[in-house]
Structure 1
């Protein structure tokens, strides 16, 4: 009996069962002796074992797979210190901070590693790449610490392709200066998009365009240029309307303008259906005229001039001009009435002004209205002021969880003792103070681990 015939008979016995068909004996030429118990079941199992080995031994090997993926290049960055790696593992597996604050704590770790030119260990790469796929705000912070192995690994999956990007900013390419002739040669549909950053002569010509959108956009952009020809025309319209009154107690009287002429309409003083037309024209004139008009009339600086401007439309126009021109002197003068001007002030002045505004607010909404215009990372003084105000401000129906991430990101770690005292003494804000305390206590451990 050939081996092939024996295997066919053994297969048939397995299909039909040993009760209906006797398994064939093992071929003698295989050199394998059958076991002595002689039961059909044992013989069939032996046949299966021997036949399976023969099939594997006699089968053709699979075709050789030629690797097309290049190996990862050697690392050029040193690995983060052991202690910092332990903290990273803790953040990934058992975060010691509130769940909503884990991304912030991770970003703090990643920024610390980036500042020192370090990379994450290889074992953490898959976890970090996967996590950044879910929390895309971490991608920018993770990219510099991936190392060569991490960038190689990111290139193997489409959903990790963001990790391959170097993040290196390209050198700015000098843009061609847009001439009036070049702008006028553009199709009408493209002229609006090319107004930003255009020279004054282009904006001046745009005031004659047929498109209302182009004209309005040109007016807004010219509001930011107090030296433009339009600003001088607005100054000529504003001067006759403003006068100083009073001897002992000085004030400013502002008259409403009359119907504008064709030149005024060209400068944006058009007519609308809603509201007082004359007050609207006054606001537009004040927004376009140089702010020096006001200080020339009063003979005082912006801090003493702003309180004298009481006419509502005039105040609204001046605020528009301050925002458009980022005038820090006027922003400092008017910030108490317009908290959004905090964003115009330099960092040092911004903190002082924000502290003054916070002392006048005792509601979460008022505090939030001030803080939303301050840069993300607060100084120790501003951080202490914010904590003090919130400690004495009831939530009044505001969810503390909505404040958690913004406060954790902005507070300086030096205020942790004050936050700890807040957590022990006040339960009106729920777990907010305790979560902040826990987070602020963890940040120094990260900084220390990288030393």
Structure 2
């Protein structure tokens, strides 16, 4: 009550109302009784300070009667060295955090673990950064695994899981359990999901279906076929997308037969000509995930018929068309350029390529998507290292602009030979006194993420420092060299621990 009276006085102002008389017989009242009332503002502030401190001092601590969790098992894996720990600390503070996955991979390779003091910060970063999560169980150690169990946001990093977690109210914990089971025993993970499927909310169902991509096989097909009968279009689409990853699934065969009737190719003067008869809306197609309009959040904007065509093609292995028409992916894509349905055809084949992991089609599509925020890296990842580098070596000679665009987006390490070829081309550009375009400047900085660190000294040498535009090149080069240097010293520190 004393506090509320003081607040009321403060709101009205001491010119309108004197501070309340709070003197009394208890200890607080005797202390407040010492205020003489000659300084209203001062008395109000003094009384507020005394009452606030009195309230804080009188608060009782919460009585936590829950038993303490069992102590962590002792760590048998040695911790990384002091230098390596300092590097990790800086990464976790946000300095060059994109290098964290590389650092964690190297830490696991030398058989060391993360220092205990840095575990909370690392688990926090992992909760936000999906590419870090798969790397943590190998480097957290026993204490890190124990710590991950103590907080819901960190349970994604727990190594071994108990099926009792499936009854948890935590969606994150249940997703983590399903991910674990699909990794070690896919059939058991599917059975556990099927056992509670009827009670799951639609949003939860879609999240669980996304996890089924782990360990996906034809053994999952019978159950996924039942999900195609769900009322939710989003849930049906998620199940259909999983079935489309299985070339021998019945859904793929159904849509393949329909697609061959919808899209026909004929040879005219030795060139492929495409004819499209877009599919109409049918219940059977909707069941197989082919809808009349893009779902909310879809990245592509097509009309209804074009969207149905795109979805149908996305479910058919792209090699089907090469075999059917006896044409290469590049020739088929050239033929698509002449079709009024070009956007739908290209988008459908792109999705099918990413779905099936077809390297031949990925190589052909890379030339069409050299600088896409997500497609370029995804397509490049489908090519074996030797094939990717052979393609880029050829492009550097024939179409260097396109090669540099692809390299700026492709998220994969380079060999020494590719690194030297790129450096040679960039030095030549600088020697020709070409201004460094803004995208190229950014790309040069980004190249340091994928260049072999042992090329640091070669990267620094051989540049035409007398060129008119050299200052712009120098700024980008220095940023590249600094990141390369950091990668090299981080690797050296970890190797010293081995």
TM-score bracket for this pair, using the shorter chain length: 0.5 to 0.7
| Separation in 2, partners of 1:180, 1:89 | 40
TM alignment of 1:336-375, pairs within 5 A: 336-338=367-369, 339=376, 340-357=378-395, 360-362=399-401, 367-375=404-412
Q: CA RMSD in A?
A: 5.3
Partner of 2:242: 221
* Pairwise CA distance, 1:202: 2.8
* Pairwise CA distance, 1:388: 3.6
TM alignment of 1:406-425, pairs within 5 A: 406-421=446-461, 425=465
SS of the residue corresponding to residue 429 of structure 1 reads helix
| Separation in 1, partners of 2:257, 2:194 | 29
| Separation in 1, partners of 2:74, 2:227 | 57
User: Runs of 5+ in structure 1 lacking a partner?
Assistant: 1-72
| Separation in 2, partners of 1:410, 1:330 | 24
Q: Which has the higher contact order (CA 8 A, sep 6+)?
A: 1
State whether residues 313 and 348 of structure 2, in contact with CA within 8 Å, keep that contact through their aligned partners in structure 1. yes
* Pairwise CA distance, 1:276: 3.2
Partner of 2:307: 280
Single out whichever of 434-443 and 135-144 deviates more from structure 2.
Answer: 135-144
Are 2:356 and 1:315 aligned? no
Q: 1:271 aligns with which of 292, 304, 307?
A: 292
Are 2:297 and 1:242 aligned? no
| Separation in 2, partners of 1:101, 1:192 | 34
| Separation in 1, partners of 2:388, 2:84 | 35
| Separation in 1, partners of 2:327, 2:347 | 20
SS of the residue corresponding to residue 265 of structure 2 reads strand
* Residues 88-141 of structure 1: CA deviation (Å, up to 9, x unaligned): 79989xx9xxx9569969986x97776555799xxx998x89997999899999
Single out whichever of 424-433 and 323-332 deviates more from structure 2.
Answer: 424-433
* Pairwise CA distance, 1:353: 2.9
TM-score by length of 1: 0.59
| Separation in 1, partners of 2:209, 2:461 | 54
Residues 283/183 of structure 1: CA separation in 2 closer, same or farther (3 Å cut): farther
Partner of 2:230: 209
* Pairwise CA distance, 1:384: 2.2
Are 2:437 and 1:396 aligned? yes
SS of the residue corresponding to residue 285 of structure 1 reads helix
Residues 450/431 of structure 1: CA separation in 2 closer, same or farther (3 Å cut): farther
Task: Please say which structure displays the higher CA radius of gyration.
Answer: 1
| Separation in 1, partners of 2:259, 2:140 | 60
Partner of 2:176: none
State whether residues 366 and 379 of structure 2, in contact with CA within 8 Å, keep that contact through their aligned partners in structure 1. yes
TM alignment of 1:9-408, pairs within 5 A: 115-117=109-111, 173-174=184-185, 175-178=188-191, 182=195, 185-187=198-200, 189=202, 190-196=204-210, 197=212, 199-240=220-261, 241-247=263-269, 249-272=270-293, 275-302=302-329, 305-310=332-337, 311=339, 312=342, 313-338=344-369, 339=376, 340-357=378-395, 360-362=399-401, 367-375=404-412, 377-391=413-427, 392=429, 394-397=435-438, 400=441, 404=445, 406-408=446-448
State whether residues 208 and 215 of structure 1, in contact with CA within 8 Å, keep that contact through their aligned partners in structure 2. yes
| Separation in 2, partners of 1:135, 1:177 | 30
| Separation in 2, partners of 1:329, 1:235 | 19
State whether residues 335 and 353 of structure 1, in contact with CA within 8 Å, keep that contact through their aligned partners in structure 2. no
SS of the residue corresponding to residue 428 of structure 1 reads helix
TM-score by length of 2: 0.54
* Pairwise CA distance, 1:262: 3.1
State whether residues 222 and 231 of structure 1, in contact with CA within 8 Å, keep that contact through their aligned partners in structure 2. yes
| Separation in 1, partners of 2:255, 2:136 | 51
